[in-house]
Amino acid sequence: MGKRLFKKVKYLLNCFIDIIFPPAHTCVLCGRKLENRSKYILCTACLTQFESLKLNDFMNFYMPNKEVYKYCDSVSYAFEYRGIVCDMVRNLKYEDKKEYASAMALMIEDEIKSTHRKYDIIVNVPSYNKKKKERGYNQSQLLAVELSNITNIPYKNLLIKIKDTKSQVLCDGYIRWYNVKDAFECRENLKGESILIVDDVITTGATVYYCAKALKEAGAGYVGAASFAKTNIDKKAY
Ligand SMILES: [Zn+2]
C-alpha cells in the first residue's frame, strides 16, 4: 500500500473512531475534564470565577472617559480586569495562549447581544507594530476574527496605524490620550455602515476613541466598541 493511501486510510479510521468515541473535552483554562458540554469550553469551577467579575452599567467607576462618546456611539465590556480575567488577557497576550480567544470572544458576544444592535463589520484595534512583530500576532485581531466566526458578521482589517506611538502600557492617565491622538486611519470609504471595534482591554477609552474617529471620518454611520475587560487609570491594566 502506498504511503499516501495509508495516510488517508489512517485519517479516515481516526475520524471514524472519533465519531464512535468522541474525544473527552477539557476546560481550556485548567484542563479539568468537562462533565457537560460547555459553550465556552470552561469547567463550572472556572466559570464561577467570572460571575463576580461581571460589570454592569451602573458601575460608573469603570465607565470610560465621557469624551469617548463623541465618536463612539456605545462602549461595552464583559468583565472587570481582575483575577481570572486578568490572567486570561495576559496569557493570550504574552504566553501564546491563542486557544483562549474563542472563549473570550463568546463572552464578548454575550455582551454585544444584550445591546441588540446589528453590526455590518467587525474591526480590531491595530497593534503596536513592534509588539506584533515580537509576538507574531495581535490579540485584538484574534478576538475580532473569532467573534466574526461566531456571529457571521464579516471581519475587515480597516484600521491602519499611521503614527508611531509608545505602548499605552507605558503611559499614565491623560498621556494615553496624547499618545494615540490621530494615530489611526481608515482608507476605505464607508457608506454609513455600523461598525464594531473589538479590543481585549479598555482603560481610558483613548484608543477606541481615535479608532472610532477614523471610522466616522471614513463614513461609518454607527461605531460601537466592545472589549473583554475594563480597567481604570488607577488600576493599571498591565
Ligand atoms: Zn476549568
**Alpha carbon of 90 to ligand 1 centroid (Å):** 17
Residues with CB under 5 A from ligand 1 (ion): 27, 29-30, 32, 43, 46
- What's the confidence (pLDDT) of residue 237? 42
Q: Do 124 and 222 fall within a single domain?
A: yes
**Alpha carbon of 32 to ligand 1 centroid (Å):** 6
pLDDT in tens, 164-204: 887 777 777 778 888 888 899 999 999 999 999 999 998 88
Boundary-marking domain end, from 15, 36, 51: 51
**Alpha carbon of 119 to ligand 1 centroid (Å):** 32
Residue 40 lies inside a defined structural domain of this protein: yes
Number of separate domains in the chain: 2
Residue 236 lies inside a defined structural domain of this protein: no
Instruction: Give the predicted TM-score (pTM) of the model.
Output: 0.83
Q: Are 71 and 209 in contact (CB under 8 A)?
A: yes
**Alpha carbon of 37 to ligand 1 centroid (Å):** 13
**Alpha carbon of 21 to ligand 1 centroid (Å):** 23
Q: Do 59 and 111 fall within a single domain?
A: yes
91 — phi, psi (to 5°)?
-70, -35
16 pLDDT more than 60? yes
**Alpha carbon of 47 to ligand 1 centroid (Å):** 7
- Cα separations in angstroms, 222 against 58, 91, 120: 23, 32, 10
Residue 237 lies inside a defined structural domain of this protein: no
Q: Do 62 and 130 fall within a single domain?
A: yes
Helix, strand, coil tally for the chain in percent (to 5): 40, 15, 40
CATH number at residue 174: 3.40.50.2020
Poorest-confidence range of 51-55, 64-68, 158-162, 200-204?
64-68
Q: Do 99 and 154 fall within a single domain?
A: yes
**Alpha carbon of 45 to ligand 1 centroid (Å):** 6
Residue 219 lies inside a defined structural domain of this protein: yes
103 — phi, psi (to 5°)?
-65, -40
Q: Do 132 and 186 fall within a single domain?
A: yes
Residue 154 lies inside a defined structural domain of this protein: yes
Q: Do 205 and 220 fall within a single domain?
A: yes
Residue 32 lies inside a defined structural domain of this protein: yes
Average pLDDT over residues 207-232: 94
**Alpha carbon of 29 to ligand 1 centroid (Å):** 5
| CA atoms of 224 and 78, how far apart (whole Å) | 14
Q: Do 120 and 201 fall within a single domain?
A: yes
**Alpha carbon of 52 to ligand 1 centroid (Å):** 16
Q: Do 37 and 99 fall within a single domain?
A: no
| CA atoms of 121 and 158, how far apart (whole Å) | 9
Residue 235 lies inside a defined structural domain of this protein: no
Q: Do 81 and 198 fall within a single domain?
A: yes
pLDDT confidence bin for 236, thresholds 50/70/90:
very low
Boundary-marking domain end, from 33, 51, 69: 51
- What's the confidence (pLDDT) of residue 120? 98
Residue 238 lies inside a defined structural domain of this protein: no
Q: Residue 160 is placed in which grid cell?
A: 491602519
**Alpha carbon of 57 to ligand 1 centroid (Å):** 28
**Alpha carbon of 6 to ligand 1 centroid (Å):** 38
Q: Average pLDDT, whole number, for the chain?
A: 85
- 40-49, 130-139, 211-220, range with greatest mean pLDDT: 211-220
Q: Do 89 and 179 fall within a single domain?
A: yes
Poorest-confidence range of 7-16, 34-43, 189-198?
7-16
**Alpha carbon of 23 to ligand 1 centroid (Å):** 17
Helical packing angle, 100-113 and 83-94, nearest 10°: 130
Boundary-marking domain end, from 51, 72, 89: 51
* Distance from the first to the final alpha carbon of the chain: 56
Q: Do 177 and 225 fall within a single domain?
A: yes
- What's the confidence (pLDDT) of residue 136? 74
Give the pairing of strands 184-186 and 159-161: antiparallel
91 pLDDT more than 90? yes
**Alpha carbon of 83 to ligand 1 centroid (Å):** 14
Element (H, E) at 157: none
pLDDT in tens, 102-117: 999 999 999 899 888 9
**Alpha carbon of 206 to ligand 1 centroid (Å):** 33
Between residues 163 and 2, which one has the greater pLDDT?
A: 163
**Alpha carbon of 43 to ligand 1 centroid (Å):** 4
Q: Do 186 and 218 fall within a single domain?
A: yes
At position 30, the amino acid (one-letter code) is C
| CA atoms of 25 and 35, how far apart (whole Å) | 8
- Cα separations in angstroms, 192 against 107, 137, 157, 196, 219: 27, 30, 17, 13, 6
**Alpha carbon of 201 to ligand 1 centroid (Å):** 22
Full residue range of the structural domain in which residue 26 is found: 1-51
